[in-house]
Amino acid sequence: MLEKRGKVLLETGIQARPAAQFVQIATRFRSEVLLAYKGKQVNVKSIMGVMSLAVPFGEEVVITVTGDDEIEAMQEVIKFIGEEV
């Protein structure tokens, strides 16, 4: 299991189109990818879950990845949202 903090640098935050792109990235991996923001955690492979967080630009999130390809998955997720904190 890997856990990292990230800062969302997507101009519109993780909403609508970026949320759909985020889900597409996560589904390429076998690992479970979770996103936590303000005390709520969702599976990144669920578009409704990701959109329900409505994470705005500049906010910090916690990403947890568990599985046999967790290193690669974490790298791609961090690269997509912005930067590791």
- How much is the pLDDT for 4? 98
pLDDT at residue 37, as a whole number: 98
Total domains in the chain come to: 1
Q: What is the pLDDT of residue 73?
A: 98
Length of the chain: 85
Q: Which residues constitute the domain of residue 69? A: 2-84
Of 43, 47, 42, nearest to 21 (Cα)? Answer: 47
CB 70 within 8 A of CB 26: no
What CATH number is given to the structural domain containing 63? 3.30.1340.10
What integer pLDDT is reported at residue 10 of this predicted model? 95
Q: Is-contact 67 34, C-beta < 8 A?
A: no
Tens-digit pLDDT string for the chain (85 aa): 999 999 999 999 999 899 999 999 999 999 999 999 999 999 999 999 999 999 999 999 999 999 999 999 999 999 999 999 9
